[in-house]
Amino acid sequence: MKASFILLIVFACILLNGYGGRGIKPPGTNVGIKTKTIAANLDVPWEIAWGPDNCIWFTAQGGTVSKVNPETGEKQLLLRIAGTFRNRSTGLLGMTIHPDRKLPYVFLDYTYKEGKKVFLRLVRYKYTDDSLIHPLVLLNDIPATTGHAGSRLVIAPDGKLMLTVGDATNGNSAQDTNALTGKILRLNIDGSIPVDNPFRGSPVWSTGHRNPQGLAFTGPGTLFSSEHGDAIGDELNLIKRGGNYGWPHVEGFCDTEKEQLFCKTHEVTAPVKAWTPVIAPAGITYCGANCAIKEWRNAILLVTLKTQSLRVLKLNDAGTEVIAEQVYLDHEFGRLRGVCVSPAGAVYVSTSNRDWNPGEGYPKQGDDRIIKILPGDSSSSGLVQQKQAKPALAEGAVVYNNYCASCHKNNGEGLAGVFPPLRGTQGVLGDKTRLIKIILKGLSGPVTIKGRKYDQQMPAFDFLSDREIALVATYVRTHFGNSVENITQVHVAKVRGAGKK
């Protein structure tokens, strides 16, 4: 009995390791990689792009464009923009370099302030060997706030310029074809509007976006965009001319009653993939037939903030569907914001640990970084740290980590002035019905918690089951130094039922 059990284990190990050969692993399997820091001590390299001089060009959120030689690490400042307004997730954000050397242009977009109002601007610069000159404003005065600014830029295979713009926390504007917020835009490179755009005389290419922070064409010329959802439904979308992606009425797939109602009367394009709990997807790029890591060929590479990872989304042969997802660099370098691939197929990512919402323990010394990812043998190189198996978490902690920790943090301390702490606060320790209501319906400021004013928005979590809400409410009431009575599933059901009447 014992011997046959051991045999079984040995056999299973042989199967899993691909006995005797180094055959291509199935698409769901991670391969060995190693990493090398190319540049360190940066301040949120929001976009990274391969330049015409074989350097990596990068924007820093504070308002500079620089380049770094990936072989020598030598850095050079190309441009400092006066008057960028950086606050929370805004500042100097997107950048794309025209792939045709006969058109030596760089496109940048950034937020600026006029009086009390914040706007987004798109500018074209001409590049020389050592600077960016002749700014030409292509778009101006797009409403912005301190978040949801989108801002990924790309040149399409047909030579048009594409820009993602977030909803600037005005969800309804995403459905308004007259507004430029909550959209993906398309322009000629001189700022004029292409005659074949779907809405005559308008740069709008697609509508219904919340905060699309990734944009990339695949080899065959299909356009993909990644998008931050609210409490649920982060998305990867295949962008079609004139497509409506549903926000603020649809998050992720059209699956709730309310969403289905909207989808009956509007043609809404479903995501190629959606994530709940959310991962906070940022930059994307396409790794094609020459991808240096051969198992990543024909995949979208997606970097994430909340889950601090690089995700390899393998595409089908037609390049229209995601057939497998692998997670790399899981919590190794913190939040990841940008990703690019060199013409030779080398992959680079940039961290975002000096941004407004750093993970616990970040920024670390040397942050932020641009990192090269190379093929490697994780079993022998030792460069890929093998993660210690994590102890299984109690159910309440799992719900908390999935849905609450990105704002209130794992230790419940929150982020000063932005996300309130959950230790010893009235909302957590006080009336149980009120706490259940906060979780079900969310909360919008201004509110005062422990003498400090908060004026952000907490999303509604009514999509969680009664049991999950009871678990997470009990968790916050019994952790972070709190110790008060549990909340039951029956109580949650009652509060939810009363709210429906």
Residues that bind ligand HEC (CB under 6 A): 403-404, 406-408, 419-420, 422, 425-428, 435, 438-439, 443-445, 447, 449, 454-456, 458-459, 461, 472, 476
- Residue 189 or 443: the one with the smaller Cβ distance to ligand HEC is 443
How far is the C-alpha of 407 from the C-alpha of 427, rounded, in Å? 16
Residues in the chain: 501
CB of 388 to ligand HEC, least distance (A): 27
Torsion of CA 51, 53, 58, 64, to 10 degrees: -120
DSSP for 34-92 reads: EEEEEE-S-S-EEEEEE-TTSSEEEEETTTEEEEE-TTT--EEEEEE-TT----TT-SE
Q: Which is nearer to ligand HEC, 426 or 465 (CB)?
A: 426
Q: Which is nearer to ligand HEC, 123 or 435 (CB)?
A: 435
Closest to ligand HEC by CB, 18 vs 424, is 424
Q: Closest CB to ligand HEC belongs to which residue?
A: 427
CB of 485 to ligand HEC, least distance (A): 15
Measuring CA to CA, how many Å separate 137 from each of 49, 140, 164, 212?
21, 7, 17, 22
**CB neighbour list of residue 114: distance below 8 Å, 6 or more residues apart:** none
State the Cα–Cα distance between residues 357 and 119, nearest whole angstrom. 22
Residue 340 C-beta: closest distance to ligand HEC, Å:
28
3-state DSSP call for residue 360? Answer: coil
Q: Which is nearer to ligand HEC, 287 or 476 (CB)?
A: 476
User: For residues 45 and 212, which CB has a smaller minimum distance to ligand HEC in the complex?
Assistant: 212
C-beta closer to ligand HEC: residue 29 or 444: 444
**3-state secondary structure string, 292-357?**
CCHHHCCEEEEEECCCCCEEEEEECCCCCCEEEEEEECCCCCCCEEEEEECCCCCEEEEECCCCCC
3-state secondary structure of 402: helix
Place of tokens 């914001």: 337
Instruction: State the nearest-atom distance from the C-beta of 403 to ligand HEC, in Å.
Output: 4
Distances (CA, A) of 408 to 280, 386, 415, 417, 421: 15, 28, 7, 12, 6
Residue indicated by tokens 């394009």: 269
User: Rounded to the nearest whole angstrom, what is the least distance from the CB of residue 266 to ligand HEC in the complex?
Assistant: 27
Task: State which H helix or E strand residue 406 sits in.
Answer: helix 405-408
Smallest separation, CB 42 to ligand HEC (Å):
26
Q: Which is nearer to ligand HEC, 57 or 403 (CB)?
A: 403
Q: Which is nearer to ligand HEC, 187 or 476 (CB)?
A: 476
- Shortest Å distance, C-beta 420 to ligand HEC: 5
Among residues 305 and 341, whose Cβ is nearest to ligand HEC?
305
Task: Check: CB of residue 195 under 8 Å from CB of residue 186.
Answer: no
Closest approach of ligand HEC to the CB of residue 462, in Å: 11
In the complex, what is the shortest distance from the CB of residue 446 to ligand HEC, in angstroms, rounded to a whole number? 6
Element spanning 428, H or E: helix 426-429
Distances (CA, A) of 300 to 215, 219, 222, 293: 10, 11, 11, 13
- 392's tokens: 């299984």
Whole-angstrom distance, CA of residue 130 vs CA of residue 53: 10
CB of 365 to ligand HEC, least distance (A): 28
Nearer to ligand HEC, 107 or 419 (CB): 419
What is the nearest approach in angstroms of ligand HEC to the Cβ of residue 293?
33
